[in-house]
Structures are given as structure tokens and as C-alpha cells.
Amino acid sequence: MDKIIVEGGRSLKGEVKIGGAKNAALPILVSSLLADGENTYHNVPKLQDIESVKSLLSHLGAKIESEGNTVRIDASGLCNSEAPYDLVRKMRASVLVLGPLVARLKKARVSLPGGCAIGARPINLHLKGLAQLGASIELNHGYVEASAERLKGNDIYFDIPTVTGTENLMMAAALAEGVTTLRNAAREPEIVALANILNKMGAKIKGVGNSVITIEGVSALHPVTASIIPDRIEAGTFMVASMLTGGDVTITDCEPDHLRGVINKLKITGADISVEGKSIRVKGGQNGIESVDVKTLPYPGFPTDMQAQFMVLMSVAKGLSIISETIFENRFIHVSELKRMGADIIISGNSAVIKGVPMLSAAPVMATDLRASASLILAGLAARGTTEVHRVYHLDRGYEAIEKKFAALGAAIRRAKE
Ligand code: EPU
């Protein structure tokens, strides 16, 4: 297993190029199951989660070739309708195959993902929606067993806007008979990206990016060539890093429009931010970091996937701030590690009250989930001394070569074997 060693105290300077979005790539690679023939996807990030979804798709019978950041998937040989526990437990997003498998093979047997470090994360809304499309659903031995001769369009209301739930049902409804309306649908850019690709495959989806999506089912889709949108969370992580270290970093190949919530909060902290085309330049303020309250919300609100990174920034800001997490019930697991580095944080319910300290102090810390891992690296960049972040396999699930990108910006950071 690897660890990351960070020596803190250097200002980051230079340019960093953002890769394809993990959370767009995952459903898009899965959407290849919806058509016969070879799909080509460019700008696919090289991540552990992408390897996991590729293993799952090939287990289901798809042929996959990868070269650099291009992945080709041909699901003409789709024959297996079972996503086993061993593959699903590695990555919850595996549940995205449920809708496409029922639509294509008339049945699916997908392991229930179970809880995870950041919350219970049930999939009841995926299942309820699929049932409303006419699938019969049973839970047996830890598996969801779903079947339908042909799914039928319906009017579906999500109690909570769920990202992968919206994606799962959008894929299922694309091949259903008749019109499906998804209400209170999630509006994340990754959902828009998936819908654009489904439409390119011949689907008839309207309204994405709004909370009401209509999908007119078609009888078949065809393969496509497409590119994955930039990762807004990777971009946001580097933006925070620049501010945190009093740096001057230009984040290139990103989509500033997807980052409005983060840009807005960072400006309040005193960051000097300029946006030009697909680049964002973030200069750390001369007067330290101002504190600001943050509440995570579904898009276009402030993303929960940036909460841990922002908490590090607030840990060394002037004064008090309150960060409220409204999406996941247990997404403060990084707090105890940050406290070991000298952060002054008190948790009360779903809020964290953070009293900025002048400096964090390096310590050995343990990564617990993907974004928490990124926050510990950020803390290490800002701390006095050398921080060792253990269990970085969480980090490799969602950030491509993050230590190399930070090193190129002047950070003293390296990966080592435990
Ligand atoms: N929820 C339910 N029932 C459901 C589905 C969701 O109660 O059937 C609840 C969840 O427990 C949560 C809320 O609804 O409290 C929102 O969860 P959502 O379903 O939107 O999350 P997700 O689709 O499982 C995706 C991302 C996460 C990101 C969240 C929120 C992917 C593959 N994952 O998860 O990304 O945090 O949306 O934006 O797209 C990450 O990349 O580190 C990550 C965790």
C-alpha cells in the first residue's frame, strides 16, 4: 500500500491541467451497455474507479480496449445480467448498471452496495423509480433482482434529488416504451453530460439541467464517440490549494461555469480569481484567509464533494466559520484527523464550527474516503513539518496523479511504499 508524504509551507505556483470527470465518466461508460457496437470515449481519467467500472462491464460481456485516456467499449456481446458483490462493494456507482441491464436484457441481479464511510446511502429511490417503470423488484440474499419484459414510461417524483438515481432512471427510460417524466431530478453537470451522450446515441431526452426531465423512449440506441467533461471537483481542489498556500495557480482545461458555487465562496475568503475561457487563475490574498460559512447543497449549490477541502481552508482562516453538510449524514470523518493536525473544530449535528488557527502542524494521518483524503493532502501542504497520509488508495479512486500535479506546482510531495 502507498502513502503520500507532504512537506508543508510552500506556495503553489504555475499551471495545472484538469482531467476528465470521474462522476461523468462512470455513468457514461455504463451507458455503452445500451447499444450494440463500439463506443469511443476520450478524456477518460485514469483512476481506480474507472478500472472498477471497466471490470464490471467486461464481466457483463462488454469488450473493452484502453489507450491513454481513450476507452473503447463494445457491448454487442452483453450476456451477463449479474453485478456481483465483489465488484459492487469496491465501487457503489456499480449500481448504475441496474437500469441499463433491465432495459437491454430484461433482467438484472445487482448486489446491494451497503453503507459507506460517508453515510448509509440507500438506493431506495433508484428501485422505486424502476418499479414505477414497470420492473418487478425483489431483494434476495443481498441482491436486487429486477425484471421487466419492456419498461414503460411513467411520471416519477424523487423525494431527494439523487445524482446516480437520476442517471440510472434516465438510462432505463431511454429504452422504455412511452414518455417518462423525472421530477425533482438532480441537476449536476455530470447528468447533463450523460444526457448529451444518450441523445447523441439517439435518445430523446429534454430538460436536463432542470429539475424536470422528460424522456421519450426509443426502441434502440446506436454507439457514439464522445469526450468526458472536465472534473469540477479536481479543479475545485486545486483552487482551494492555491488559496490555502498563498499561491498563484492557473487551472486549465476546466469548466468555470460548473464551479460558480466554489468560486463565489473562495472570493469571499479573499482569493483573487480571474476566469478566462476554460481557465481559472486563483491567487492567494495578501491579507490571509477570511472565514466564510458554507452549506452543501445539490447543484448548483456548494458541492458536498468540496466540503472537506474547504474545511481545511477554514481551519487556517481568520475567525469562526460554520460548515453544514446537508447531503450525507456522516461526511465529517476527516475532522478527527484535522484536529490531530491542530485544527480547532467542533461538530454539532450536521454542522462543524471551525475556529481558524494560525498554522496546522504536520502529523501522520489516515485517509478515510476519497474527498477526505484530498483534504488531508491539502492540510499537509499548509502545515508546518512533514505530514504522512496513509491509506491513499481512497485518493487513487478519484484523483489522477495528484501528487505529480502538486509537485509540478512546487509542492514538496511524494508517494512512497508503506
Ligand atoms: N439517497 C437516498 N436514496 C436513494 C439515493 C440517494 O436516500 O435512493 C440520498 C443519499 O443517501 C444522500 C442523497 O440522497 O443523502 C444524495 O445522494 P446521491 O444519490 O445524489 O449521491 P450518489 O449518486 O450516490 C453522487 C456522486 C458522489 C457525490 C454525490 C452528491 C457519483 C458516482 N457519485 O453520489 O460523489 O458526493 O452524488 O453530489 O456520481 C465522490 O466523488 O467522492 C462522491 C462521493
Residue 210's DSSP bridge partners are: 208
**R_g of the chain computed on alpha carbons:** 21
Q: How many helices (H) and strands (E) does the chain have?
A: 14, 24
At residue 84, the 3 state secondary structure works out as coil
Residue 243 and residue 271 in contact, taking contact as beta carbons nearer than 8 Å? yes
Q: Which residues of the chain have pLDDT under 70?
A: 114-115
Q: How far is the CA of 301 from the centre of ligand 1 (A)?
A: 14
Residue 1's pLDDT is 84
Dist. CA 25–CA 197, nearest whole Å = 11
* Among 28, 144, 327, residue to substitute to test ligand 1 (most atoms within 8 Å of Cβ): 327
Ligand 1: residue whose CA is nearest its atom 17:
162
Give the tens place of pLDDT for each residue, 216-238: 999 999 999 999 999 999 999 99
The secondary structure element, H or E, covering residue 304 is none
Grid cell of 392 as nine digits? 491513499
Nearest CA to ligand 1 atom 6: 162
pTM of the full structure: 0.98
Nine-digit cell at 211?
429539475
Instruction: Please report the beta strands in 37-165, taking only residues with DSSP state E, as ranges in sequence order.
Output: 38-42, 63-67, 70-74, 82-83, 107-111, 136-140, 143-147, 155-157
The pLDDT value given to residue 117: 80
User: What does 241-283 look like in DSSP terms, one character per residue?
Assistant: HHHHTT-EEEEES--GGGGHHHHHHHHHTT-EEEEETTEEEEE
Query: Is ligand 1 within 6 A of the CB of residue 370?
Result: yes
Residues 6+ apart with CB under 8 A from 368: 117, 333, 334, 337, 391, 394
Select from 274, 275, 273, 272 the least CA-distant residue to 286.
272
Amino acid 115: pLDDT: 66
Cβ pair 313, 243 in contact under 8 A: yes
The three cell numbers of residue 150 are: 419492456
Q: What is the DSSP string of 223-235?
A: --EEEPPB-HHHH
233 contacts 227 by C-beta, under 8 angstroms: no
Catalytic machinery residues = 116
> Could you give the strand order of the β-sheet that contains 155-157, starting from the edge strand earlier in sequence?
155-157, 179-183, 212-216, 204-206
The closest residue, in CA terms, to atom 40 on ligand 1 is 305
* Whole-number pLDDT of residue 285: 75
Is the minimum distance from the CB of 121 to ligand 1 under 6 angstroms? Answer: yes
> Is the beta carbon of 346 within 6 A of some atom in ligand 1?
no
Q: Take atom 7 of ligand 1 and give the residue whose Cα is closest.
A: 122
Among 162, 295, 331, say which to mutate for ligand 1: greatest number of ligand atoms within 8 Å of CB.
162
The reply to whether ligand 1 has any atom less than 6 angstroms from the CB of 328 is yes
Residue 411 Cα, ligand 1 centroid: separation in angstroms? 32
Expressed in angstroms and rounded, the spacing between residue 410 Cα and the centre of ligand 1 is 34
CA distance 28 to 83: 17
Q: Is there a contact between 395 and 367 (Cβ–Cβ < 8 Å)?
A: yes
Q: CB within 8 A of 4, min separation 6: which ones?
A: 377, 380, 388, 389, 392, 395, 403, 413, 414, 415, 416
Q: What is the largest CA-CA distance in the chain?
A: 64
**Dihedral class, residue 411 (left if φ above 0, else alpha if ψ from -120 to 50, else beta):** beta
Interatomic CA distance for residues 118 and 398, integer angstroms: 15
